[in-house]
Amino acid sequence: MSLAERAAREARLVRQATIAAACRKCEIGYTRCNNVYGEGDPCASLMVIGEGPGETEDRLGRPFVGRAGTLLDQMLAAIDLPREDVYICNTVKCRPTFKEGEKLRNRPPEPFEMANCRPYLDKQIEIIAPKVILALGAPAAKTFLGPKFLITKQRGIWYEGPAGIPLMVTFHPAYVLRQTGNTMIGVKREVWHDLKLVRAKLQEATLPSEAPEIEQATLFEV
Ligand code: URA
């Protein structure tokens, strides 16, 4: 990818982030601290899509920086992908919350919130044009595959995602963290299965013509 193309994508993402930050289509646009647009490599082959920002993400304005984020980083590292090489975002850019006493608690995004935010997500997908999309958890999967999607039965296989991009669904890292004992081991095994498919698809998608060229002259320079 040329430097000019990278810069152009970066500029488009910055502009779109500003547009998304001005959005108040949902109530959560008023209760959030920050609009968590997304971050990562604008030329990433892999785009990871979670459900919505939690408390830490809302405070810092960055996706997946809490406990679930740490596990996501480990999951990506397991398939040799540093976080910086991936683009990470969510189905909704504002933190979905409900009030408990004086405190705001996290909740999954409502379908109408995901629908309101969908144009922002679609723009991100259009700009980044990833080779593969990895959806984390049922809400993210339902955004693309419809409300009947059952993560326990339908994850771990390839779907045709937006713009025909291969889409894989796996368990959300926060769900993995909520499991204990053998259940956690089982869930981790399933996530690993899905991640290996993602790695293979990414390798397949990187055609030899796109692999970085190494000049012989450099290799044998003395
Ligand atoms: N969970 C999500 O789905 N997204 C985040 O950014 C953080 C936690």
Q: Residue 42: helix, strand or coil by DSSP?
A: coil
Could you tell me the distance, in angstroms and rounded to a whole number, from the CA of residue 33 to the centre of ligand 1?
15
63 CA: nearest ligand 1 atom: 6
- Between 67-78 and 181-205, two packed helices, what is the crossing angle to 10 degrees? 50
| C-alpha radius of gyration, the chain, whole number | 18
Domain presence at residue 221: no
Domain assignment present for 210:
no
Euclidean distance between CA atoms 135 and 126, whole angstroms: 16
Looking at per-residue pLDDT, the higher value among 9 and 221 belongs to 9
Tell me, yes or no, whether 101 lies in a domain. Answer: yes
Residue 85 placed within a domain: yes
Q: Would you call 174 helix, strand, or coil by DSSP? A: helix
Taking the centre of ligand 1 as the mean of its atom positions, its distance from the CA of residue 205, in whole angstroms, is: 27
- Report the alpha-carbon distance of residue 178 to residue 184 in Å, rounded: 8
pLDDT-derived band at 1 (thresholds 50, 70, 90) equals confident
Ligand 1 pocket, residue 174 CB under 6 Å: yes
115 CB-contact burial (10 Å; exposed 0-12 / middle 13-18 / buried 19+):
middle
Q: With respect to residue 200, please indicate whether it lies within any of the assigned structural domains.
A: yes
CA distance linking residue 63 with residue 220, whole number of Å: 43
- pLDDT confidence bin for 209, thresholds 50/70/90: low
Residues, the chain, total?
222
pLDDT in tens, 2-18: 999 999 999 999 999 99
Query: Structural domain tally of the chain?
Result: 1
Give me the mean pLDDT over the 68-95 stretch. Answer: 98
Is there an atom of ligand 1 within 6 Å of 73 CB?
Answer: no
Q: What is the pLDDT of residues 93-132, one digit of tens each?
A: 999 999 999 999 999 999 999 999 999 999 999 999 999 9
Q: Which residue has the higher pLDDT, 212 or 135?
A: 135
Per-residue pLDDT, 222: 39
Mean pLDDT of the chain: 94
Compute the CA torsion angle 33, 122, 24, 9 (nearest 10 deg). Answer: 60
> The domain containing residue 41 runs over which residues?
3-205
pLDDT of 210 reads 60
Testing ligand 1's pocket by substitution, the residue of 35, 171, 172, 177 carrying the most ligand atoms inside 8 A of its CB is: 172
Tell me which residue of 98, 204, 96, 186 sits closest to 140, measured CA to CA.
96
Whether ligand 1 lies within 6 angstroms of the CB of 50 is answered as yes
Is 22 part of a structural domain of the chain? yes
Q: What percent of the chain has pLDDT over 70?
A: 93
CA of 217 to the centre of ligand 1 (A): 46
Q: What's 62's domain CATH number?
A: 3.40.470.10
